[in-house]
Amino acid sequence: MNFDDIQKTWQSPHNRPSAAQLEKDKMKFLTDLRKRNRGAVFFMLWILGVLLVITGSALLHLLWPDSAKDAIDLTREWSIVPLLALPWFCLLVFFEKYRRYRAAHPNYEHSISASVRALLDENRLARDRQKWAAALSGVMLLLMPLIVHQLRAVGKAGDEILVPAFVLLPALMLCIFLGMLWQQRRVLLPRKRELEALLATYRED
């Protein structure tokens, strides 16, 4: 049975879901939505933890340099600033967009249609996060020649950095991008169409 058949069956005057079935459907959507919200929060908190560790280590080394290690000279190694600032900016964008999304759906548990609208908005937010992540990856790759140049100029790296920076890292970024593209095409967009169809056809007594 294709979706048109399901839609005709749903809209048929002979089809009247019971209150128990409607409640069961609503709980299914609520469970899915809460799971996705927890996943989004966990993802952002994980990124926050990683950035705190990396940024904290960089600041510690900058303010209180270890005599056994080379100090950071920002006049010659200033590429570390955008390298750290860009992920922080993206994370703040993620948090702000998530805050707006939650504010737009304060009572999503009150009805099936409200739950489906919230799920549809969550799907849009997930696709938006992927676009930001892809853009950040692209900018990082564009920064890599500058970072490598500065590291070699101050004597902190030699030719051994070329393969990781210009072969391994781009290959890793490409794999991540292809994974996000696959999820976008195979998971998120079909889910979006499914939710839009549900929102258009679901009718509550």
For residue 25, pLDDT over 70 is answered with: yes
**CA-wise closest residue to 98 among 140, 56, 128, 60:** 128
> What local confidence, expressed as pLDDT, does residue 9 receive?
44
> Does 93 reside within a domain?
yes
Which class for 116: exposed (0-12), middle (13-18), buried (19 or more C-beta within 10 A)?
A: buried
Where in the sequence is the domain holding 149, given as residue range(s)?
A: 19-201
Task: Tokens for 57, please give them.
Answer: 């280590």
DSSP-derived letter for residue 70 is: P
Q: What is the pLDDT of residue 3?
A: 45
> What percent of the chain is predicted at pLDDT more than 70?
85
Q: What is the pTM of this model?
A: 0.82
Is residue 2 situated within a structural domain?
A: no
94 within 8 A of 126, measured Cβ to Cβ: no
34 found inside a domain: yes
Residue 148 contacts residue 169 (beta carbons within 8 Å): no
26-52: per-residue pLDDT in tens? Answer: 788 889 999 999 999 999 999 999 999
Mean pLDDT in residue range 70-92: 90
Residue whose C-alpha is closest to residue 39's, from 123, 112, 132 = 123
Q: What is the pLDDT of residues 185-195, one digit of tens each?
A: 999 999 999 99
pLDDT of 123 over the 50 cut: yes
Does residue 13 lie within any of the structural domains? no
**Count of domains forming the chain:** 1
Mean pLDDT score of the chain: 86
Mean pLDDT of 136-149: 93
The residue assigned the tokens 């009572």 is 107
Minimal CA–CA distance to 129: which of 54, 195, 47, 55? 47
